[in-house]
Every structure is written in structure tokens, then in C-alpha cells.
Amino acid sequence: MEEQREVQTEREEPATQEARPSPLARKTAVIVGASSGIGRETALKLCAMGYRVYNLSRTPFKGERVRTLTADAAQEGEIAKAIEAVGEETGGFELLVYSAGFSMAAPLEYAKSGDYRYLFEVNYFGAIEAIRASAPYLKKKKGRAVLVGSIGGDMPIPFDGFYSSSKAALAMLAREADLEMRPQGVRVTALLPGGTATDFTYSRRVYNEEESKSYSPSVRKASAALANIEQGGMTPSLVADAIIRLAEKRNPPPVSVAGGKNSLLRYAYKALPERVTDWFVRRKFNQK
């Protein structure tokens, strides 16, 4: 679960920042959301491998090895415009990583449409735009696309159901894109990490008592449990390693899980009756 929501008061045209990448780099990667968390860790590791890396986000990458093109995943057309700028400059690229994300803890009954529509713009529709815009350039290089999903897409997370729904949709998007683009030499994978210890935890939009109304005590308990799971979970470095393995793999799967423990957990969720898994979720998130 990755990247964070930030406040921006005016739209910006995609603009380059930081130092330009070395022309000696062997491969090129485009990361949507490399300014922090999993995306940033992936960018650093790819740079160390000799990739030239472009970051597409609202916040610049801190460091000289990655070039930032300013773009907001929630604004239609901005990601596509930035990707086209990269494609025109490079002629094509080997890797697209979609790591932008937003999360909110809110009761379904009182959730504001602006919040959950924003969530889907960032988590899902932005990924569609990124894949569509990248397709011509990935096909030139027989490249790979990795969409950072979540094990939460396979299970309900109390009061974070919009996030789970968006990640479930993202996994199906990856499967569909892989089916369609495989004959063109492009492979697409949704990578599902479990809880990951990043600042994403602290950027979650948690509804307050006035907004949550009668659900407020349950919202507080669930969001606190989720924060503990994340901060006690995987490191972003391990997730970045999983992304890079998929990028370098000859025949990557359309859906992959980061971490052996998470793989077992996902298998259990799918094998056990939903009544059992929902009981487990209620206990895990301190719900009655």
C-alpha cells in the first residue's frame, strides 16, 4: 500500500526537475509515484543497476539520479502527457512501475464521494492511463509493467473497503492487460505486498468522530490495527526487490505476491470459506 495524498493549489504542466539521466544507462524505467515509499526504494535500486529512471509524481524525487516529470495521477491526461514526453525522448522504455496510491478509513454510509472518487482516480484509473500511454513504448522494447497492488485486494479491510476494492480491480486490470499485450511482447503483473512500513500509513485519510458518527469507535480501532500491521510488516526494500525480479523475469505471472508469508495468507483466504475469513478479519481489526 503505497504513496501519499498531498495538497496542490494549482495545476502544473509536466516539467522536468533534478539532473538529467546519464546517456550511458542500459535500460529505462518509468515509475509513477517514486517520490516516497516503495516507489522511491525501487527507483534507487534500479539506478544502482544502471537504469535511467524517470519519476512521475506531484512531488520531486529527492536526489540527482532520478529525473522528475511533474504529473498528478488524479488529473486525467497528466500521466499520459508525461509518459509521452519520456517516450519521445527515449524512443521506448523497458519498464513501467505504477506505485501511486491513496487510502481512507471511513464508514461506507458516510464516506464522501469526493474522497472515494479521488481514491479510484489515483489507485485505478491512473493505472489505466499509465498502461495505455506506455503501450507503444513498451512494445518497442518488449517491456514489462508492474502495478503495485495489495493483498488487501483479496480481503475486506474494515472501513478501508474502497482501497481494497480499488486494489482488487487493479489485479484484474493486470490480468486483462497481460492477456491482451502478451502477443505484442509486453508482460503486465500486479504485485501484491502485505502491510509495508512506509509513511503511507500516516497519510491515510481517517474520518474523525463527526464524520464517522456512530461508527467512530470502530473506525478508530480498525485504522489503529491497520497502522500496526503496516508498520510491523515488510520493508519497502523487500517489495522493491520483488518488483525488480518481475521486471527481469522472462515469463512473469500476471499476479504475484511479495513475501512467502503473504503467499500463504492469500492461499488461505482463497481456500477457506468466506465466513471463516471474515471472522478472522473482524478479530484482526478489533471489530465485533
At 288 the pLDDT is 82
- Which residues lie across from 16 on neighbouring strands? 69
The grid coordinates of residue 280 equal 478472522
122 touches 74 (CB < 8 A): yes
Give the pLDDT confidence of 48-94 residue by residue, as tens digits: 999 999 999 999 998 888 999 999 999 999 999 999 999 999 999 99
Question: For residues 163 and 150, is the Cβ–Cβ distance under 8 A?
Answer: yes
Summarize pLDDT for 128-154 with one digit per residue, the tens.
999 999 999 999 999 999 999 999 999
Confidence band of 6 (pLDDT split at 50, 70, 90): very low
Task: Look at residue 64 in the predicted model and tell me its pLDDT.
Answer: 82
59-to-40, 43, 71, 200, 255 alpha-carbon distances in Å: 11, 14, 9, 14, 29
In angstroms, the CA 78 to CA 57 distance is 10
- Whether residue 18 is predicted with pLDDT greater than 70 in this model: the reply is no
Contact of 127 with 169, CB cutoff 8 Å: no
Residue type, 25: A
Of residues 78, 82, 52, the one with CA closest to residue 64 = 52
List residues with catalytic annotation: 163
Alpha-carbon torsion, ordered 233, 71, 50, 135, to 10 deg: 100
Cβ proximity of 146 and 95 under 8 Å: yes
Pick the CATH number of 16-284 from 3.40.50.450, 3.40.50.720, 3.90.1300.10, 3.10.50.40: 3.40.50.720
Please report, for the chain, the start and end positions of each structural domain, with discontinuous segments joined by +. 16-284
Per-residue model confidence as pLDDT tens digits over 240-261: 999 999 999 999 999 999 988 9
Interval 220-231 mean pLDDT: 96
Does the predicted TM-score (pTM) go above 0.85? yes
| Alpha helices (H) along the chain | 37-48, 78-90, 113-120, 126-141, 161-181, 200-203, 209-212, 216-231, 236-248, 260-271, 274-284
Per-residue confidence (pLDDT) for residue 232, from 0 to 100? 95
